[in-house]
Every structure is written in C-alpha cells, then in structure tokens.
C-alpha cells in the first residue's frame, strides 16, 4: 500500500482524464440522486410564485449569453414551468439580444411541456415574449407598448395578444415582481436603479453571485438562485427533477474525484519526502 501511495504522484494523466470522464458521463446516463440542500434565497423565489394569485403578472429579463446558458436555462425552465403551473402570467423583456434568442426557445419548449401536463400555457394569453428592444428603459413605466415598438419578439402586434391589454405600463400596479437572469452587464443593476420600488429577484450565473451578495443582504434584491445548484434546488422544491438535478449529480461526482485525487497526491508527496529524508 505504501508503494502505491509513493508512486501515485507519477500517475499517468490519461488515467485522471478517464476517471473524470466516467464521473461526468455516468450520472448523466444513470442519475445517482445525490442529496440537494435548498438555500433560503432560492426558497424565497419559489415562495414568491407559489404564493402569487392566479392571473398575477410577473416580468423577467434574460440578460445572458451562450456562455452562461448551461446554468441559467435550467433556472429559467424550472421557474417558468412553475409560473404556468400556478397560472401566473409572464412577460419577458431582454437587455441582451443573445439572451432573447436563447430564452425564447426555452420558454416555447417549457410551455409545450406545461400544456401537455394540463396547465394553461397559451402564448399571448398566459405569457408574452417581448425580447430585446432598443429602448429607453424608464419610458416603459409610462407607455410600455410604444417604448417596445408595439410588437413582440416574433413581430406580433401587442393588440393581437390579449395579455398585453393588461400591460400598458410597467409599474407596480401592473406587476410588482421581477426576476432577472443575470450573467453580466447590463444586468440587474438596470432594475435596481429604475424599478427600486419593485420586488426584484435574481437568477445568477455562479460567477456573478459573489458580486450580488451585498445587494441581497441589503434587501435590494429579495432572493437569488445561484448557478446550476440554484436550478436543481428549484426543481426539488417544484418536485420536478429535470436537467439541473441530473447535471448536479455529474458536477458533484466530478468534484469528489478531484478532492480524492488531491488528497492522494499530497499523501504521495509527503511519503516521498519522508523516504528521501530517511535515505539521507
């Protein structure tokens, strides 16, 4: 056994790569079901939708690109499904053109799943995707239609979408709740400045989370999902395990392999050092 540890420091890197590949692939093919602990900041977002009344309107921003979609798409999918399940009406507005294209596909797919499960998820009635618009943000508070060019992401005029009859302005009378899926700038800061009186929630890429902790602690944002873990936590609260839950198995097992390799590498190093000292 001592000989194994002493030689471990010289392990062939291809073995390490193989172990990591197995750790990442096996849980995706056959989920393990590793435990998921729900953070309070994720639960706050879930409770916001869970305690909303049928017909309430909420807004969300898809301010992210392809580099963060693996984390934020599962967050959006879980949250949007929850809204459809609770008959909460959803309006999208995006600060990123890339985020609009990515999130539009996610919402269409989840809406079909919700309808298949027996929930109301009709486009134009239960949700509207405005997408990216070149606009002056504060003007949406006075005339949402005009500021957005009177059309949605797919070119439909707002007058043809029944839900938009209730969204002539974006103020607290129309909707008090907002969720920003955020991976950079511009991001949630736009809403902290222009919609400070609203209840603001954030779905953050993991790299953004530390920078948002101060506004979370100050109460400027009410709750925050963080990365893939936040999406898996939301799926657990929703009792609907999906992509994030599976990927968290792979991520957790991959981290476990790295920790084991670090420990074994250090044991090997110290045993070698001890052997050299004894030889002298």
Q: What is the pLDDT of residues 224-256, one digit of tens each?
A: 999 989 999 999 999 988 777 877 666 677 667
As a whole-number percent, the residues of the chain with pLDDT over 70 amount to 86
Instruction: Work out the average pLDDT over 42-57.
Output: 97
DSSP state letter for 205:
-
Six-digit token pair at 176? 């008090």
Decide: 187 and 94 in contact? Cβ < 8 Å: no
Question: Residue 129's CB: how many other CB atoms inside 10 A?
Answer: 24
Six-digit token pair at 39? 């953070």
Predicted confidence band of residue 78 (pLDDT cuts 50, 70, 90)? very high
The number of C-alpha atoms within 13 Å of 156 and in the hemisphere containing its C-beta is: 16
Decide: 85 and 50 in contact? Cβ < 8 Å: no
Rounded to 5°, angle at Cα 34 from 31 and 40:
125
- The closest alpha carbon to 160, from 129, 125, 119, belongs to 125
Predicted confidence band of residue 276 (pLDDT cuts 50, 70, 90)? low
* Cα gap 10→4, rounded to integer Å: 10
Per-residue confidence (pLDDT) for residue 28, from 0 to 100: 64
* Cα gap 239→105, rounded to integer Å: 23
Decide: 233 and 254 in contact? Cβ < 8 Å: no
pTM higher than 0.85: no
Tell me: pLDDT of 279 over 70.
no
Q: What are phi and psi of 92, to 5 degrees?
A: -100, 140
- The closest alpha carbon to 199, from 22, 10, 84, 59, belongs to 59
What's the pLDDT tens digit per position in 25-38?
766 667 666 678 89
Tell me: pLDDT of 56 over 60.
yes
Predicted confidence band of residue 76 (pLDDT cuts 50, 70, 90)? very high
Q: Average pLDDT over the chain, rounded to whole?
A: 87
Decide: 222 and 214 in contact? Cβ < 8 Å: no
Give the contacts of 242 (CB within 8 A, at least 6 positions apart): 74, 77, 78, 235
Per-residue confidence (pLDDT) for residue 25, from 0 to 100: 74
Per-residue confidence (pLDDT) for residue 86, from 0 to 100: 97
* DSSP strand pairing (89-94 vs 57-63): parallel
- The closest alpha carbon to 180, from 271, 70, 86, 45, belongs to 45
Which residue reads 């979408």 in tokens? 161
Per-residue confidence (pLDDT) for residue 280, from 0 to 100: 47
- The closest alpha carbon to 62, from 89, 90, 99, 91, belongs to 99
Predicted confidence band of residue 2 (pLDDT cuts 50, 70, 90)? low
């Amino acid at each position: 056994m001592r000989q194994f540890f002493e030689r471990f420091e010289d392990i062939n890197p291809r073995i390490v790569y193989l172990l990591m590949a197995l750790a990442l692939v096996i849980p995706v093919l056959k989920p393990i079901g590793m435990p998921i602990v729900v953070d309070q900041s994720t639960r706050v977002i879930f409770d916001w939708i869970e305690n909303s009344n049928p017909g309430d309107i909420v807004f969300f921003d898809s301010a992210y690109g392809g580099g963060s979609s693996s984390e934020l798409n599962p967050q959006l999918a879980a949250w949007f499904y929850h809204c459809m399940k609770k008959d909460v009406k959803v309006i999208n507005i995006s600060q990123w053109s890339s985020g609009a294209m990515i999130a539009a596909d996610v919402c269409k797919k989840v809406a079909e799943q919700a309808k298949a499960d027996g929930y109301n998820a009709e486009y134009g009635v239960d949700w509207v995707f405005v997408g990216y618009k070149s606009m002056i943000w504060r003007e949406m508070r006075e005339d949402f239609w005009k500021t957005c060019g009177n059309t949605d992401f797919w070119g439909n005029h707002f007058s043809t979408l029944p839900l938009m009859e209730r969204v002539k302005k974006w103020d607290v009378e129309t909707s008090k709740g907002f969720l920003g899926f955020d991976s950079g700038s511009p991001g949630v800061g736009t809403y902290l400045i222009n919609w400070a009186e609203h209840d603001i929630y954030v779905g953050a890429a993991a790299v953004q989370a530390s920078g948002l902790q101060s506004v979370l602690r100050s109460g400027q944002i009410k709750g925050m999902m963080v990365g893939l873990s936040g999406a898996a936590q939301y799926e657990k609260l929703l009792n609907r395990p999906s992509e994030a839950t599976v990927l968290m198995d792979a991520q957790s097992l991959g981290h476990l392999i790295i920790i084991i390799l670090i420990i074994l590498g250090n044991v090997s190093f110290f045993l070698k050092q001890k052997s050299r000292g004894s030889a002298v």
